[in-house]
Amino acid sequence: MVHVRSHWILLLFLLGSKTAFSQAAGSSVSKVGTTSAAFLEIPVGARAISLGGAFVATAKDVTSLYWNPAGSARLSQYGVVFSHTNWIADMKFDYAAAVAPLGDFGTLGLSFTSLSMDAMSVRTVERPEGTGELFDAGSMAIGLHYARNLSDRFSIGFTAKYVSEHIWNMQSSAFAMDAGVLFTTHFLTGIRVGAIISNFGSDMKLSGRDTRTFYRIDPQKFGSNDRIPHNIELDSWPLPLNFQLGLSGDFFDTGDHLLTVAVDALHPSDNHESLNVGLEYGFQHFLFVRGGYHSLFLQDSEGGLSLGAGLATNLFGSGASVSFDYAFSDFGRLNQLHTLSVQLQFQP
């Protein structure tokens, strides 16, 4: 009875996501650059990145809070992860998260995402060398996560997050939700099916004192007041809604050798559909070598190849484990990116 209910929940989730995205996408025309908070689409975790972002059905570590919160329901230990990427244009992208399994109640998680840049000089047409002022810009998101196993094969997960962006004296904010499911089938060695709809939330609109300016009512009349204050009202922009469906499986597992294959299909609201594919080889659950390709078949994509490696080890037989992961990503003309992650899992 539980397995039948799990199948129906998965089917309803997929049908509901399809309806939502049919309304959001609207047409086959690309909407690149028409959403706010684009940093929410930056992938997190060196392991997932080196697999080309094909991680929705593979997610079974702390970074599952980003990729598919349902995967965190299958964690048996407390865990924390820290990930850093030197992002495009000298920006810094950081992600930190923690999970706490609470038995039959489910799993709770907390995450923090940040995209930041160094301060820059304010330059104007009149003063191209700088006015002496500095400005910066940045984005951040704080997420609260909950996941639970509905059966030994079916898990669900949800995320509520606060999103904020700023540039100089302007700021915007929004609230958003993620919802994910993860199902282990009976096929082969247990093919996993995962799906997530992310960033479903309110629109964002910048506001602040930088929109305040002064207007002269009638420039043709001598003596007219040229200091009438007014504010420029900016447009609202939606969050980058995304639906991602993934398949993954361990096709070769002898104890010493493990081969995992994963593929994800993406349907974002601000771009065309594409595929992410990844391959991971593990030796004695200690050494891992990975490769993948992101944005496969995406029109006008940049780069796509990703490579990586990882080490995982127990800490002095205490039951705790630590893993170190590295990922290289090729973004074509934009940059070659490097990501480092460290993850710790332990019993309280």
pLDDT, tens digit, for every residue of 198-248?
999 999 999 888 888 877 777 777 767 777 777 888 899 999 999 999 999
- 286 confidence band (pLDDT: 50, 70, 90): very high
**Span 10-16, average pLDDT:** 50
Specify if 277 maps to a domain: yes
H, E, C per residue of the chain: CHHHHHHHHHHHHHHHHHHHHHHHHCCCCCCCCCCCCHHHHCCCCHHHHHCCCCCCCCCCCCCHHHHCHHHHHHCCCEEEEEEEEECHHHCEEEEEEEEEECHHHCEEEEEEEEEECCCEECCCCCCCCCCCCEECEEEEEEEEEEEEECCCCEEEEEEEEEEEEEECCEEEEEEEEEEEEEEECCCCCCCEEEEEEEEEECCECCEEHHHEEEECCCCCCCCCCCCEEEECCCCCECCCCEEEEEEEEEEEECCCEEEEEEEEEEEECCCCCEEEEEEEEEECCCEEEEEEEEEECCCCCCCCEEEEEEEEEECCCCCCEEEEEEEEEECCCCCEEEEEEEEEEECC
Is 42 domain-assigned? no
Q: With a cut of 60, say whether residue 24 has pLDDT above it.
A: no
Lowest mean pLDDT among 94-103, 313-322, 328-337: 313-322
Identify the CA nearest to 206 among candidates 233, 245, 240, 176. 233
Q: What is the pLDDT of residues 42-58, one digit of tens each?
A: 999 999 999 999 999 99
Average pLDDT over residues 266-289: 94
What's the mean per-residue pLDDT of the chain? 88
Whether residue 40 lies inside any domain: the answer is: no
Within a domain: 322: yes
Between 164-178, 209-223, 251-265, 276-290, the lowest mean confidence (pLDDT) is in 209-223
Q: Is residue 31 part of a domain?
A: no
Residue 78 resides in a domain:
yes
Cβ neighbours for 154, distance < 8 A, ≥ 6 positions apart: 2, 3, 6, 9, 10, 181, 182, 183, 184
Q: What is the dihedral of CA 302, 96, 116, 294, to 10 degrees?
A: 0
* Residue 29 confidence (pLDDT): 64
Structural domain containing residue 186: 2-21+48-346
Most confident option among 221-225, 252-256, 322-326:
322-326
In a domain, 319, yes or no: yes
Q: How many domains does the chain have?
A: 1
Q: Is residue 101 part of a domain?
A: yes
- The whole-model pTM stands at 0.87
Q: For the domain that residue 61 is a member of, what is the CATH number?
A: 2.40.160.40
Confidence at residue 1, expressed as pLDDT on a 0 to 100 scale: 44
pLDDT at 316: 65
pLDDT band for position 22 (50/70/90)?
A: very low
First to last CA, the chain: 34
